[in-house]
Structure 1
Amino acid sequence: MPRVLSSEDVEAFRRRLCVAAEALFAERGAEAVTMRELAQALGVSPMTPYRYFKDKDAILAAVRAAAFARFATALEAAMARPMDPLQRSRSAGEAYIAFALAEPQAYRLMFDLNQPTEGDYPELQAAIVRARRTMTVHVEAMIEAGLLAGDAELIGHMFWSMLHGVLMLQLTGKLAPTIDPTKLRALLFSTVVRGLGIGGR
């Protein structure tokens, strides 16, 4: 008779499955990975994953939700320390870069993947909203402090676009060998900071 699984057993296996799936999805693309291969990676029967997730799409959603949550946690922690608004914004950017470089597989699944069924998974949706919020909260603080003026969401997305663009070029090896990504990011942000007049008032 099959062993009755506790909630802890279920959660532990779900975590193991998501870890294996993240690596396979990032390496080969979600479309190329089968449930059988996921089961094989964990040394279980082909039907075992179905006891924990409806299908591969649900696994992908869980993997991405967990990654977005880790990402948001990292940025929230970076911005929680006592500091002035400009320092908080810089800290958020540093945390963003550190996460992407430490977890490149997760980062690419989060932002470089189109999952048409995203709206079917409330946990994933909530994690995305939470992560997106970290892109604007530090900008709002700078506006409140009088360091800049404008639409916080739009400015936050501008910073986000710059970070993401350079990081994706870096992670995919598309930057020219002569380009230092750290210097490129510094130049981009110093240019934008001057344009926005941050710290110059």
Structure 2
Amino acid sequence: MAQKANSYHHGNLSEALVSAGMTLLQDRAAEELSLRAVAEQVGVSRTAPYAHFPDKRSFLLAISAAGFQRLSDAMEARRVAERGPREQVLVFGDAYVQFALDHPNLYRLMLATMTPRNEGDGREQFPGQVQAEARRPHAILNAEFAKMVSDPARAEALSQGAWAMVHGLASLVGEELIHPHEGGVEGILRTFMDAQQRS
């Protein structure tokens, strides 16, 4: 169960609210999250969040953007300078899937904000921020594939394929529809990479 944060005293309230929202998502779905509960978690009045977020949808978009940032940071935290690009892609992919498994409610919210925009759905509040952060995981993968192949178009195709695979693995493993073999997620990704190199 999420622990109540210390009362908010100073600093960036919007960031504190987003952080509290992410904490609450550890034990509840986004649909069950309320600005009232977030305000209580931070220790501010029930109306305080509305100075930064006009409604729940805009708040969830901000959480989604922060979630993509944390995902990218989790991938980058696994970077090792001495590791070759192929091995680095495998490690990045494993980090991606592990993040999704560790934060299932947050990950589902992140994906939900990537659906086509509908007029009046609140998405226009932070479209650039969400889109920019959502593209970072792919950019991280693409940079490694660009070190392996000279053709930018092929590097892009390979990175998109890898991104699609780790996303699919995260969803399927998270729903327990597949169970990674002894080599784990990294082993599945290694098989994919081997097949791509032979193609």
TM-score scaled by structure 1? 0.71
State whether structure 2 residue 28 is matched by structure 1 residue 9.
no
Is the Cα contact below 8 Å between 1:18 and 1:62 reproduced in 2? yes
Paired with 1:74 and 1:29, the residues of 2 have a C-alpha distance of: 22
State whether structure 2 residue 154 is matched by structure 1 residue 151.
yes
- In structure 2, runs of 5+ residues without a counterpart are 1-8
Q: RCO greater where, 1 or 2, for CA within 8 Å and sep 6 or more? A: 2
Could you tell me which of 146, 171, 174 is aligned with 1:171? 174
Change (3 A) 1:101 1:65: same
In the TM superposition, what is the alpha-carbon distance from 1:106 to its structure 2 partner? 2.7
Greater Cα radius of gyration, structure 1 or 2: 1
SS in 1 for 2:78: helix
- In structure 1, runs of 5+ residues without a counterpart are 1-7
State whether structure 2 residue 134 is matched by structure 1 residue 125.
no
Paired with 1:42 and 1:22, the residues of 2 have a C-alpha distance of: 12
State whether structure 2 residue 142 is matched by structure 1 residue 141.
no
Deviations 1:32-78 (A, max 9, x none): 54433433444543212112322222211221111111211222343
Paired with 1:187 and 1:81, the residues of 2 have a C-alpha distance of: 22
The letter for the 1-side match of 2:107 is Y
In the TM superposition, what is the alpha-carbon distance from 1:27 to its structure 2 partner? 5.4
The letter for the 2-side match of 1:141 is K
Change (3 A) 1:54 1:80: farther
- Number of equivalenced pairs: 185
The letter for the 1-side match of 2:53 is F
SS in 2 for 1:129: helix
Paired with 1:19 and 1:182, the residues of 2 have a C-alpha distance of: 35
Paired with 1:70 and 1:64, the residues of 2 have a C-alpha distance of: 10
Is the Cα contact below 8 Å between 1:18 and 1:63 reproduced in 2? yes
The letter for the 2-side match of 1:166 is L
SS in 2 for 1:45: coil
Is the Cα contact below 8 Å between 1:26 and 1:106 reproduced in 2? yes
Paired with 1:20 and 1:92, the residues of 2 have a C-alpha distance of: 27
RMSD across aligned positions (CA): 3.3
Change (3 A) 1:61 1:181: farther
In the TM superposition, what is the alpha-carbon distance from 1:133 to its structure 2 partner? 0.9
2:193 maps to 193
Paired with 1:93 and 1:114, the residues of 2 have a C-alpha distance of: 20
The letter for the 2-side match of 1:165 is G
Sequence identity percentage: 26
Is the Cα contact below 8 Å between 2:93 and 2:186 reproduced in 1? no
Deviations 1:9-49 (A, max 9, x none): 241x3333223323555755444544334334445432121
TM-score scaled by structure 2? 0.72
How is 1:41-190 mapped onto 2 (pairs within 5 angstroms)?
41-79=41-79, 81-114=81-114, 116=117, 117-121=122-126, 122-144=128-150, 151-175=154-178, 179-180=179-180, 183=183, 185=185, 188-190=188-190
Paired with 1:28 and 1:131, the residues of 2 have a C-alpha distance of: 25
